[in-house]
Amino acid sequence: MAKRKPQPKPATKPAGKSVSSKSAPAAAQAASAEAELNRELLYSMLLQRRFEERTAEAYAVGKIGGFCHLYIGQEAVSTGSISLLRPDDYIITTYRDHGQALARGMTPRALMAELFGRADGCSAGKGGSMHLFDRNLNFLGGHGIVGGHIPIATGVGFAIKYRGGDQVIVCFMGEAAVNGGAFHEALNMAALWKLPVIFVIENNRYGMGTAVERASAINDIYERAGSYDMARGVVDGQDVFAVRAAMAEAVERARVEQAPTLLEIRTYRFMGHSMSDAVSGTYRSKAELDEHMKRDPIVLLRTHMEEAGEIDEAALTRMDEEIKAICQDSWDFADQSPEPPLEALYEDVLVDTTSDAVAEAEAAA
Amino acid sequence: MPVITYREALNQALREEMQRDDRVFLMGEEVAVYQGAYKVSKGLMQEFGEMRVVDTPITELGFAGVGVGAAMVGLRPVIEFMTWNFALLALDQVVNSAAKMLYMSGGQYKMPMVFRGPNGAALQLAAQHSQAWESWLAHIPGLKVVTPGTPYDAKGLLKAAIRDDNPVCFLEGEMLYNTKGEVPEEEYVIPIGKAEVKREGDHVSLITHGKMILVALQVADQLAKEGIRVEVLDLRTVRPMDVEAITATVRKTNRAVVLEEGWEVAGIGAQVVDYIQRECFDHLDAPVLRVHQEDVPMPYAKSLERAAKPDAGKTIAAVKKVMYLE
């Protein structure tokens, strides 16, 4: 019988609050470090928000085409979880991938250029909104088939273990992915082989327009990990501190014990499923949306910081203006970036190298 | 030169490549403790350990994806499907992940991996276990599709597939595993994408690949007794296809029959015929004919199964027809 693993409690306060036992200078130093960290978290979340507001605008004027899924409302999940990772850790995600890419450090220029379908995009204009990749960031892509990337995450975990490394991989997915076979096949192997994979379900309550309770036989989705005797937890995804607390445990478990975790991070999508989807009206009511928007993750963090005296109105305005300028710059950059040359059409279908070539190159170097 | 089975040739290729490169590992159902459903991986777990010869649950989609993930971060997986029939469950990973990752990442993530296993019909395994999948796979840009028909080709091509930095679908044959042929002891690698004339002739070209090479050689033997000199071209790789070799043989003989194990519609033969009409239109003395499985799911009954499969008799009839002998 699988033991129920302890659930991370939603942390209402940031970790490291118990400063009373420390000396006064140490306490001041800790408070300052904490304020700095919180400013970074806020910056990351606000960058995603402002960037995607411009994304919606660019889509509306035809600069961006195809499918485009906004992340607005869920920023505490990406920022909170990715803030715990090392540069050599890995991330893989779904087609709703702008937020995680920015949180990981992808430049707004490379991202916007990709959305515009330009040569300077992070995937050279060949991926688009749903397929953001950045090898330098170990960002293994946005993937377009629901659940398809989950076994890939298990494979990366396998490779880490194969090499004896201590990296982790974080696999983001929506709650609707848990009803497909790929999810179960991937979790089973990750638990069976004890792989350092952190499966993060971003439960935004709707798989496109189908509410979670209309698609999943159980509503506490994290309990699905019980089938695989996997550590699991449920987290308030609007609270970046709660996300960080849960992720810290999961990362430790993966890095030290090489064991997987399933986290259900409960959040809410403030926009439609994609750009063609009304924000509310068919599958969810305006009243429900309004209720959830009262718990905007950015507002919650800002309020906490204001109350803690970590930021004031002027500093907030400065940060916002700086971010808006960066987003404008990304738009201008993308606009000026050339379209991929026609020769690129036939490039990157196959490579013409073999392991011999790699070995030869390594030997030469 | 030693004569070994197709199975042993594959086993040698796996062993040699795993010795050569510690990033290469074998994963699939029953590959380790059981030593392979068809014993292709015999002795490998004992030599390389359980981290490099990995038994999986019965979860084709899952372990194909595991291979993709491992390949993305620099390992060189060989993913064994117990048969390609079961690989249908894994097609999302083969097609949507492995074949497209390089392209949709703008060239950042190559996929040095092999998907391999037996393809096509054996004997009386009925509809769900008797299918030749190469035309499905060959449809997809971003994949290479290799179909060796002899032990020599099996070894040399598997070694090439494992060293290739692209995803390679490697289609073996259940009925081929026990067939024997000469395989040299010294190291060799056969380039992917190169056809081979398995028998020279100047009356008619018989173009085929995979298991059907055995039927083609049988046909050539039989027709030789009647004075018909058949040139047998073994494609060996169906993607990329060796158009030059196809063109050369048809321009030489001016007549062609294309033989394949799979179904007719949108089959490999349809593509070969397209190349022929483009490259050899003025060289043809007769319409090109095709021999393939009848357009039905594979039946179980021995008599019906025999009737459904392409065979020497059907091929001989087609050859004689393109030579206007019947």
Chain segment B190-220, per-residue pLDDT in tens: 999 999 999 999 999 999 999 999 999 999 9
Phi, psi angle pair for B38, to nearest 5°: -115, 15
Amino acid at B182: E
At A31 the pLDDT is 84
Number of domains in chain B: 2
Whether B244 and B175 share a structural domain: no
With pLDDT > 90 as the criterion, what percentage of chain B qualifies?
99
CA angle B293, B83, B297 (to 5 degrees): 30
In the structure encoding, which two tokens stand for residue B177, read together?
Answer: 């595993």
B11 is a domain residue: yes
Task: Return d(Cα A167, Cα A193) in angstroms, integer.
Answer: 16
Tens of pLDDT, residue by residue over A39-69, are 999 999 999 999 999 999 999 999 999 999 9
With a CB cutoff of 8 Å and minimum separation 6, the contacts of B158 are B9, B10, B13, B14, B17, B114, B116, B148, B170
Chain A residues within 8 A of B23 when measuring between CB atoms? 355
Asked whether the predicted pLDDT for residue A4 surpasses 70, the reply is no
Please check whether residue B164 touches A, CB under 8 A.
Answer: yes
What confidence score (pLDDT) does residue A18 get? 41
Catalytic residues of B: 60, 129
- Return the beta strands (E) in chain B as ranges: 3-5, 24-28, 53-55, 76-80, 114-118, 144-146, 168-172, 180-182, 196-199, 204-208, 230-234, 237-239, 256-259, 289-291
The predicted-structure confidence for B257-295, as pLDDT tens digits, reads as follows 999 999 999 999 999 999 999 999 999 999 999 999 999
Q: Do A152 and B108 touch (CB under 8 A)?
A: no
Instruction: Find residues 318-347 of chain A whose CB sits inside 8 Å of chain B.
Output: 347
Which residues face A201 on adjacent strands?
A: A173, A264
Mean pLDDT along residues B20-45: 97
CA distance B148 to chain A (A): 20
How does pLDDT run across B222-244, given as a tens digit for each residue?
A: 999 999 999 999 999 999 999 99
Name residue B206's beta-bridge partners.
Answer: B232, B257
CB count within 10 Å of CB B116 equals: 26
My answer on whether B72 and B174 are in the same domain is yes
Report the alpha-carbon distance of residue B108 to residue B100 in Å, rounded. Answer: 11
CA-CA distance, A339 to A344, in Å (whole number)? 10
Alpha helices in A65-172 (DSSP H): 75-82, 98-104, 108-115, 150-163
Bridging pattern class, strands A139-142 and B24-28:
unpaired
8 Å CB contact of A154 and B109: no
Q: How far apart are the first and last CA of chain A?
A: 54
When mean pLDDT is compared across A184-188, A274-278, B247-251, B268-272, the lowest value belongs to A274-278
Is A233 an 8 Å CB contact of chain B?
no
Contact indicator for A200, A194 with CB cutoff of 8 Å: no
For position A10, what pLDDT does the model report? 41
Q: What is the pLDDT of residue A357?
A: 62
CB of A112 closer than 8 Å to CB of A100: no
Task: Supply the mean pLDDT for chain B.
Answer: 97
Question: Once rounded to an integer, what is the mean pLDDT over residues A254-274?
Answer: 96
Q: Give B98's contacts in chain A (Cβ within 8 Å).
A: none
With an 8 Å Cβ cutoff, are B104 and A131 in contact?
Answer: yes
Within a domain: residue B187? no
What does chain A come to in residues? Answer: 365
Lowest-confidence pick of A78-92, A123-137, A268-282: A268-282
pLDDT of residue B167: 98
Judging contacts by C-beta atoms under 8 Å, the chain A residues touching residue B75 are: 159, 162
Q: In this predicted structure, what is the pLDDT of residue A362?
A: 61
Q: Enumerate the residues of chain B whose CB falls inside 8 A of the CB of residue A152.
A: 65-66, 68-69, 72, 93, 97
Q: Do A351 and B102 touch (CB under 8 A)?
A: yes
Determine phi and psi for A261, rounding to 5 degrees: -140, 145
Phi-psi sector, A208: left (phi>0), alpha (psi -120 to 50), beta: left
Where among B115, B147, B182 does a domain terminate?
B182
Q: pLDDT digit string (tens) for A143-192? A: 999 999 999 999 999 999 999 999 999 999 999 999 999 999 999 999 99
Q: Please provide the DSSP assignment of B83-112 as one string.
A: -HHHHGGGHIIIIIIITTHHHHTTTS----
Q: Which token pair is A16? A: 């490291």
The residue out of B153, B182, B211 marking a domain boundary is B182
Say how far apart CA A325 and CA A319 lie, in whole Å. Answer: 10
CA A269 to chain CA centroid, Å, is 13
CATH superfamily of A31-364: Thiamin diphosphate (ThDP)-binding fold, Pyr/PP domains (3.40.50.970)
Strands (E), chain A: 90-93, 139-142, 169-174, 197-203, 206-207, 210-211, 231-236, 261-266
Q: How confident is the model at residue A361 (pLDDT cuts 50, 70, 90)?
A: low
Establish if B48 touches chain A: CB-CB under 8 angstroms. Answer: no
Taking contacts as CB-CB distances below 8 angstroms, the residues of chain B near A153 are: 69
Q: How confident is the model at residue A279 (pLDDT cuts 50, 70, 90)?
A: confident
Res A356: pLDDT: 77
How far apart, in whole angstroms, are the C-alpha atoms of residue A109 and residue A326? Answer: 9
Residues of chain A positioned with their CB less than 8 A from the CB of B57:
185, 188-189, 192
Instruction: Examine the domain organization and report whether B158 and B268 are in the same domain.
Output: no
φ, ψ dihedrals at B52, nearest 5°: -110, -10
**Residue spans per domain, chain A:** 31-364
Instruction: Report the pLDDT value the prediction gives residue A281, as an integer from 0 to 100.
Output: 84
With a cut of 50, say whether residue A5 has pLDDT above it: no
Tens digits of residue pLDDT in A213-246:
999 999 999 999 999 999 999 999 999 999 999 9
Question: Angle, to 10 degrees, between the axis of helix A313-336 and the axis of helix A108-115?
Answer: 50
Band of residue A11 on the pLDDT scale cut at 50, 70, 90: very low
**Domain shared by B147 and B202, yes or no:** no
Is residue B236 within 8 Å of residue B146, measured between CB atoms? Answer: yes
Task: Estimate to the nearest angstrom the gap between the alpha carbon of B88 and the chain centroid.
Answer: 16
Q: Is B205 helix (H, G, I), strand (E, B) or coil?
A: strand
Q: Are residues B166 and B239 in the same domain?
A: no
- CATH number for the domain spanning B231: value is 3.40.50.920
B208 phi/psi in degrees, rounded to 5: -155, -175
Residues sharing a CB contact under 8 Å with residue A39, sequence separation 6 or more, in sequence order:
A305, A310, A311, A319
Domain that holds residue B260: 196-322
Q: What is the CATH number of the domain that holds B40?
A: 3.40.50.970
Averaged over B309-323, what is the pLDDT? Answer: 98
Q: What is the mean pLDDT of residues B125-131?
A: 94
- Which of A130, A162, A168, A197 to probe the B interface (max B CBs under 10 A)? A162
B235 Cβ contact list (under 8 Å, min separation 6): B147, B195, B207, B208, B209, B241, B242, B245, B246, B268, B272
Task: Please judge whether A158 and B56 are an interchain contact, meaning their C-beta atoms are less than 8 angstroms apart.
Answer: no
Kindly state whether B71 is in contact with chain A, defined as any CB-CB distance less than 8 angstroms.
yes
Find out whether B138 and B116 touch, Cβ atoms under 8 Å. Answer: no
pLDDT, averaged across chain A: 92
Interface test with A, best of B50, B61, B91 (most A CBs within 10 A): B61
**Whole-number pLDDT of residue A1:** 35
- Partner residues linked to B180 by β-bridges: B5
Asked, for residue B8, whether it belongs to a domain, the answer is yes
How close are the terminal C-alpha atoms of chain B, in Å? 42
Number of other residues whose CB lies within 10 A of the CB of residue A80: 29
Residue B228 shares a structural domain with residue B298: yes
> Is there a single domain that holds both residue B213 and residue B138?
no
pLDDT at residue A278, as a whole number: 84
pLDDT band at B171 (very low <50, low <70, confident <90, very high): very high
Query: Considering CB atoms only, which of B61, B75, B108 is closest to A135?
Result: B108
Paired with B67 in beta bridges are none
Residue A33: helix, strand or coil by DSSP?
A: helix
Cβ distance A185 to B59 less than 8 Å, yes or no, reads yes
| pLDDT value of residue A14 | 37
- Whether the per-residue pLDDT at A19 is higher than 70: the answer is no
pLDDT above 70 as % of chain A: 92
**How many Å apart are CA B183 and CA A254, to the nearest integer?**
46
What is the CA angle B192-B54-B172, rounded to 5? 35
Q: Name the closest residue on chain B to residue A171, using Cα atoms.
A: B69
Whole-number Å distance between alpha carbons of B201 and B36: 39
Enter the pTM of the model.
0.94
Instruction: Considering only residues A8 and B29, tell me which one the structure prediction assigns the higher pLDDT.
Output: B29
Nearest CA in chain B to A150: B65
